[in-house]
Amino acid sequence: MLDARCSLLIYTHPMDVIYGIHAVEEALRSRGRAFEYVAISRDRKDAKLQKIIDACREAGISVRFEGREHLNRMAKTAAHQGVVAIAAQKKYIDVDDVLAQRRGQHAFVLVLDGVEDPHNLGALLRTADAAGADGVVIPERRAVGVNATVVKSSAGAAEHVPVAKVTNINRTIEELKEKNIWVVGLDERGSKFYDEIDYKMDCAIVLGAEGHGLHDLVRKKCDFLVKIPMQGSVPSLNVSVAGAVVMYELQRQRRKK
């Protein structure tokens, strides 16, 4: 009876599937999750997978060797590169914790107003990590969370970037402003170009959802609205590309002596 009860607890505990060499490797390296086990394709033998096997054994994590079809079913895709991990869910933190983990002289927070495509969120997390963001804020509803596709798309950067999940983006922006964080919204109707702002200040960059951009209330709460000049026929960039342009302008200015 005790054994059955224990098995049920393991089965019902919230777990995530992580797949892909870089994603699993970074999840192991960050030590931010507890692992149930890591499944390795028995059909593939190479140095990259052996490195993951060695890391698992060093950390005392169970390794299972499975057929490729079984891994396909686990990952719900064939793009797993021969490795799938079952691990505890991504831990979200509070916005105050993001601000407390400041990586530079000035605060730098990325706020996402309803990004729904996991590939876009993954790309944004990867850029946020590379550009030195303190963390990323996402809403609980009508937006994608940090799932397996996001982790894979971020090349594992999602394991290192602090992510806060909030109930109301508008209220969160107000709270950031109360903490003397300047809020810069990216919007095609902005009055300034993105490189006309001095980012050497405590600031949050706000990006809107695919298609419709920033919500009206969010736009009104921003201290600055900036745009990216478009010389072609298409009026805007993909949100992950646009976010990368602005984040690296911020990083460029802060590096400049």
CATH of the domain at 70: 3.30.1330.30
Question: How far, in Å, CA of 90 to CA of 151, rounded?
Answer: 10
Residue among 73, 89, 72, 81 nearest 13 (CA): 89
Q: Are residues 181 and 131 in the same domain?
A: yes
End-of-domain residue from the set 25, 59, 88: 88
Q: Are residues 222 and 138 in the same domain?
A: yes
Q: What is the pLDDT of residue 13?
A: 56
Q: Are residues 54 and 109 in the same domain?
A: no
Q: Are residues 59 and 78 in the same domain?
A: yes
Q: What is the pLDDT of residue 257?
A: 66
List, in order, residues 6 or more apart from 244 with CB less than 8 Å away. 123, 124, 127, 131
Domain count, the chain: 2
Alpha-carbon distance values, 204 to 33, 89, 98, 164, 238 (Å): 27, 26, 12, 13, 19
Residue 176 belongs to domain spanning? 95-255
Question: How far, in Å, CA of 87 to CA of 74, rounded?
Answer: 12
Q: Are residues 23 and 76 in the same domain?
A: yes
End-of-domain residue from the set 71, 88, 105: 88
Q: Are residues 19 and 114 in the same domain?
A: no
Q: Are residues 163 and 59 in the same domain?
A: no
- Give the Cβ contact number of residue 134 at 10 Å: 22
Q: Are residues 194 and 115 in the same domain?
A: yes
Q: Are residues 53 and 171 in the same domain?
A: no
Q: Are residues 142 and 72 in the same domain?
A: no
Domain at 158, CATH number: 3.40.1280.10
Q: Are residues 14 and 68 in the same domain?
A: yes
Q: Are residues 126 and 39 in the same domain?
A: no
Q: What is the pLDDT along the chain (257 residues), one digit of tens a residue?
A: 334 333 333 434 578 999 999 999 999 999 888 999 999 999 888 999 999 999 999 999 999 999 999 999 999 999 999 999 999 988 999 999 999 999 999 999 999 999 999 999 999 999 999 999 999 999 999 899 999 999 999 999 999 999 999 999 999 999 999 999 999 999 988 999 999 999 999 999 999 998 888 999 999 999 999 999 998 888 789 999 999 999 999 999 999 86
End-of-domain residue from the set 59, 88, 117: 88
Using the structure block, give the residue that is written with the tokens 């001095």: 198
